[in-house]
Chain A
């Protein structure tokens, strides 16, 4: 919940989007979290980065939708990061 609140109130996301961000954080934690380090800082850092990335993506979609006259759902961004086909 603290992380959901952070993603939601600090980054202006809806609670549902914030929950998705936090869930993605926990997925990353399985492989990347060093339990002997500072887990608190790690979780906060990853939530912040994922939330900011989500915000940027949302802003790009809104820009494209406004430019091309489509609704947000109709815009599919290229799967560049995941190496998908363009």
Chain B
């Protein structure tokens, strides 16, 4: 709650006492506000007033309300001139600085205008909201006569769509593209697109940036990007599904921060908001995070049941990328029970699904789990091959945390094959990454023992196993 709202609430009794004896301003009457709105509308049409010209006070806010009333009443005209004017009013109001807006009046006015504008363009606003919520809406920006930015927007929109849809981007490449696009969209200015399109596009790009940088282990940055996305999405005319998506992003951050109990506590609310928004794809992802948290907290029967349920639902929805990840997690679970053949079947199925999808991380994750399985079966040479392949892929993707974990597995397997020098090489690369990302507690004795053993050029296998198990627990 802002400090101004707290002050208001704290002085309620005093306010009531005061109003008994004196007139409290209630701003302009409807007639006065409408009269001034008509004048403002004429000035806007003439282009003789700019957002920077206004000094916003309570009376002017009344005028803005009346102006939006005037504009939206004519929505049924359904013609280009209405859309153009409504868009101009939208852009004007959006650029006026509203201080002390505890009740989000500006946002509500913009949403009303935006929704009316889309209806006037013949859009079914519910269908539009659902399409946008899939974040794959290649928003076709409308031409409004001479739009000097149209050529830039024509180039930008396909790039945004490509960023959101593609899983071929490595996280670092996706982040770089997202930052570039965000900057370009910002520079394009408030006249890019109609009504809330710019906010929607920038919000989508910000969400993609947050998702990408999360995979790179830079969680504070991811949090900032998700906050930017939520703020931009909240300005769109149908924000609930989009804001629910940012809720999912924040849930993932809690998972990455090893706050599994909080994940389990908050996940039902995030899931419910996604369910209400009919965001089934993100709903499954949300449950996937829950299942992984259950597993890490040692609640393996519940985790397995949820993975099995998700597996079926992903198959029905043809959600191959998530299905392959679910199968990999299931394989990892059952191999701990010694069911190696079944685990291998699950991994083969996961691999087959990945042929249809282009989810690069899943390839590497499969190889890590496969290598672990082979290692437990005593097939050390094959395990080393799988781990090396995974390390190479994860390094290309820039996923340092996963790369470090894979190197530990590889080092342990090399030690078991009496290839101590190669094991040391892997550890020399893994330990600094673990330190810089702070993925192992500083007080973990095993890390110190491991570092000391490296210094003496004789790797301590027990220390290595302890560190690897710590990371494995939090995968």
A residues with a Cβ closer than 8 A to B are 1-6, 8-9, 14-16, 18-19, 23, 26-27, 29-30, 33, 35, 38-40, 43-44
Q: In the complex, A31→B29 CA distance in Å? A: 31
Give every chain A residue within 8 A of B27 (Cβ-Cβ). 1, 4-5, 15
Q: In the complex, A43→B1 CA distance in Å? A: 13
Decide yes or no: A5 and B65 within 8 Å by CB, A15-B27, A23-B19, A40-B102 being known contacts: yes
Would you call B16 an interface residue if the criterion is a C-beta within 8 Å of the partner chain's C-beta atoms? yes
Interface of A, helix, strand, loop or mixed by DSSP = helix
Give every chain A residue within 8 A of B9 (Cβ-Cβ). 29, 33, 35, 39
Q: What would 15 A/B residue contacts be, using CB atoms closer than 8 Å?
A: A2-B103, A2-B105, A3-B103, A5-B62, A9-B65, A15-B26, A23-B19, A26-B12, A26-B15, A29-B9, A30-B12, A35-B9, A39-B9, A40-B1, A43-B103
Q: In the complex, A43→B5 CA distance in Å? A: 11
Would you call B269 an interface residue if the criterion is a C-beta within 8 Å of the partner chain's C-beta atoms? no
Give every chain B residue within 8 A of A3 (Cβ-Cβ). 103
Give every chain A residue within 8 A of B62 (Cβ-Cβ). 5
- B29 partner, pick from A2, A6, A15, beta carbons under 8 A: A15
Decide yes or no: A5 and B61 within 8 Å by CB, A15-B30, A40-B5 being known contacts: yes
Q: In the complex, A9→B24 CA distance in Å? A: 18
Decide yes or no: A44 and B103 within 8 Å by CB, A23-B16, A29-B9, A33-B9 being known contacts: yes
Q: How far is the CB of A41 from chain B (nearest CB, A)?
A: 10
Q: In the complex, A14→B62 CA distance in Å? A: 13
Give every chain A residue within 8 A of B443 (Cβ-Cβ). none
- A29 partner, pick from B12, B28, B69, B101, beta carbons under 8 A: B12
Q: Verify A2–B12 contact, CB threshold 8 A.
A: no
Would you call B47 an interface residue if the criterion is a C-beta within 8 Å of the partner chain's C-beta atoms? no
Give every chain A residue within 8 A of B122 (Cβ-Cβ). none
